[in-house]
């Protein structure tokens, strides 16, 4: 959600931003929002004037009664009653208009950063930088589920019987590896000064609408039937929701947090061949990083966040690259975003393992998160980034650490979490 003042004062900028995101169907929303805003202000002005008149007349009634002017007092009471009736009508109209205005504004995308490349979809994302040397070994790399099955580490058939497609059982050393990666990710972020959190795994609907757009919600979120609760698709949702309606102090910022959670996603849409196995699933676990900061610091924190993920993967001998998301690939609340992709020796290409996003003041505005400063009250900026999200991350790990004899090397950083094992 953008500032209503921007729509009032610079509608052309808002329209141009919509065009950059290739969402021309939303162009009429700008004029519709301006019209609703004008109506809301007109209704408020009339209501304020009526309240002032009503209050003035109410005071006159007492004076008239004390002077014995009962007839004049009764007429004044009738006029006050008419004002009260009209105020009821106006307040109802104000509520209806404010609701319509808010709903319309939720559909207008956030103003993207000037540095974002213009493109229609993820096929036009731009590679920024590569880290580590991608290697294609001389031996064949099996599909990741085959590697896991040879280690007796996965059972997809049993999971289908229990929960359906998109779920899994991990067992033995593969399950241990899964937990080890998350534990290492937790400590990796703590060592970088982030505070470790375990948040609620369900959130109310008003938090959902505060942290993401409606299309995202429809595509991702599972709703608990009969309750105002949704399973989180990422811990970012409940972590940012924690500050809903709060007035933060400038000296508290930045808030740098790292959170663990299971994640639940519908994953609507077509699934390609490379999305079988545990690449695209309905349930997974993730270590996330979240920052709430002053607006002038958000660009700096954005660079630090994606660099954390790059450093994490490189410490496990997994080559990665960063991709700048183009305008058409940005969700409506995002100002800027980049993906971190890991090298797949089997596919001989990179694939997404994390995403870093700067949401500007969009989430803060929706959730009414404010910061008290010497110069008044402002909205903070919020950012989030994936540290790691196994089991998808395990695909990259297994492929990049697989040896010709079928064993999997355990990098030195991970060995303390694997009981000292050097391979599995």
The Cα–Cα gap between 62 and 218 comes to 58
How many Cβ atoms are within 10 Å of 52's Cβ, its own excluded? Answer: 11
* CA dihedral sign of residues 113, 118, 121, 125: negative
Share of the chain above pLDDT 90, in %: 80
As its CATH architecture, domain 4-105 has: Orthogonal Bundle (1.10)
Q: Are 8 and 37 in contact (CB under 8 A)?
A: yes
* Confidence check: pLDDT of 102 > 70: yes
- Class of residue 130 by CB neighbours under 10 A (exposed 0-12, middle 13-18, buried 19+): middle
pTM: 0.89
With cut-offs at 50, 70 and 90, classify the pLDDT of residue 274. very low
The Cα–Cα gap between 386 and 94 comes to 41
pLDDT digits (tens, 9 = 90+) for 331-372: 999 999 999 999 999 999 999 999 999 999 999 999 999 999
CATH among 1.20.1060.10, 3.40.1360.10, 3.30.930.10, 3.40.30.10 for 122-418 = 3.30.930.10
* Confidence check: pLDDT of 161 > 90: yes
| Average pLDDT across the chain, whole number | 92
* Confidence check: pLDDT of 219 > 70: yes
With cut-offs at 50, 70 and 90, classify the pLDDT of residue 270. very low
Give me the residue spans of the domains in the chain. Answer: 4-105, 122-418
Calculate helix-pair angle for 172-191, 392-401, nearest 10 degrees: 100
Share of the chain above pLDDT 70, in %: 97
With cut-offs at 50, 70 and 90, classify the pLDDT of residue 276. low
Is 264 in a helix, a strand, or coil? strand
Q: Are 15 and 30 in contact (CB under 8 A)?
A: yes
CATH topology identical between 4-105 and 122-418? no
Ramachandran angles phi, psi of 279, nearest 5°: -75, -50
Secondary structure E strands in 317-389: 320-324, 336-344, 349-358, 370-373, 376-378, 381-388
What is the per-residue pLDDT for 1?
78
Lowest mean pLDDT among 54-68, 199-213, 236-250, 251-265: 54-68
What is the per-residue pLDDT for 229?
95
What DSSP character marks residue 267? Answer: -
* Confidence check: pLDDT of 272 > 90: no
Is 384 in a helix, a strand, or coil? strand
Which is more confidently placed, 279 or 145?
145
What is the per-residue pLDDT for 53?
81
Sheet holding 336-344, edge to edge: 126-131, 320-324, 336-344, 349-358, 381-388, 283-293, 255-264, 195-197
The arithmetic mean of pLDDT across residues 152-165, rounded, is: 93
What is the per-residue pLDDT for 275?
54
With cut-offs at 50, 70 and 90, classify the pLDDT of residue 295. very high
* CA dihedral sign of residues 110, 116, 122, 127: negative
pLDDT digits (tens, 9 = 90+) for 169-215: 999 999 999 999 999 999 999 999 999 999 999 999 999 999 988 77
The arithmetic mean of pLDDT across residues 85-109, rounded, is: 91
Q: Are 58 and 133 in contact (CB under 8 A)?
A: no
* Confidence check: pLDDT of 273 > 70: no
Residue whose C-alpha is closest to residue 387's, from 333, 307, 282, 284? 307
With cut-offs at 50, 70 and 90, classify the pLDDT of residue 314. very high
Residue whose C-alpha is closest to residue 145's, from 348, 342, 391? 391
What is the per-residue pLDDT for 77?
75
* Confidence check: pLDDT of 412 > 80: yes
Residue whose C-alpha is closest to residue 234's, from 258, 265, 206, 205? 265
The arithmetic mean of pLDDT across residues 222-238, rounded, is: 95
β-pairing, 255-264 vs 195-197, is parallel
- Report the first-to-last Cα separation within the chain, whole angstroms: 49
* Confidence check: pLDDT of 78 > 50: yes
């Amino acid at each position: 959600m953008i500032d209503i003042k921007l729509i009032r004062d610079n509608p052309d900028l808002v329209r141009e931003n919509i065009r950059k995101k290739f969402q021309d169907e939303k162009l009429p929303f700008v004029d519709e929002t301006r019209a609703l805003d004008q109506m809301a202000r007109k209704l408020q002005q009339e209501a304020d004037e009526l309240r002032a008149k009503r209050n003035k007349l109410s005071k006159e009634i007492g004076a008239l009664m004390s002077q014995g002017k009962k007839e004049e007092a009764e007429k004044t009471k009738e006029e006050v009653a008419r004002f009260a009736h009209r105020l009821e009508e106006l307040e109802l109209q104000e509520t209806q208009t404010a609701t319509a205005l808010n709903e319309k504004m939720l559909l207008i995308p956030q103003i993207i950063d000037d540095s974002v490349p213009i493109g229609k979809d993820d096929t036009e994302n731009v590679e920024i930088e590569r880290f580590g040397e991608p290697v294609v070994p001389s031996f064949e790399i099996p599909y990741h589920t085959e590697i896991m099955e040879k280690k007796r580490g996965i059972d997809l058939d049993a999971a289908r019987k229990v929960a359906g497609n998109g779920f899994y059982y991990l067992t033995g050393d593969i399950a241990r590896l899964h937990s080890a990666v998350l534990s290492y990710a937790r400590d990796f972020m703590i060592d970088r000064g982030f505070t470790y959190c375990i948040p609620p795994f369900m959130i109310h609907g008003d938090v959902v609408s505060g942290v993401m757009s409606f299309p995202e919600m429809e595509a991702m979120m599972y709703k608990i039937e009969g309750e105002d609760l949704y399973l989180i698709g990422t811990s970012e949702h409940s972590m940012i929701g924690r500050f809903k309606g709060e007035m933060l102090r400038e000296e508290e910022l930045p808030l740098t947090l790292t959170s663990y959670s299971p994640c639940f996603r519908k994953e609507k849409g077509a699934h390609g061949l490379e999305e079988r196995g545990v690449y695209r699933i309905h349930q997974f676990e993730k270590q996330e990083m979240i920052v709430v900061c002053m607006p002038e610091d958000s660009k700096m924190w954005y660079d630090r966040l994606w660099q954390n993920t790059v450093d994490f993967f490189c410490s496990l001998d997994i080559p990665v690259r960063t991709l700048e998301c183009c305008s058409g690939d940005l969700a409506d609340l995002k100002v800027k975003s980049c993906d971190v992709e890991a090298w797949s020796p089997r596919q001989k290409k990179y694939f997404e393992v994390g995403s870093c996003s700067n949401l500007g003041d969009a989430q803060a505005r929706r959730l009414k998160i404010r910061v008290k400063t010497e110069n008044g009250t402002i909205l903070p900026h919020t950012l989030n980034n994936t540290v790691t999200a196994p089991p998808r991350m395990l695909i990259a790990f297994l492929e990049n650490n697989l040896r010709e004899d079928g064993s999997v090397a355990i990098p030195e950083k991970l060995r303390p979490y694997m009981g000292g094992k050097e391979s599995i």
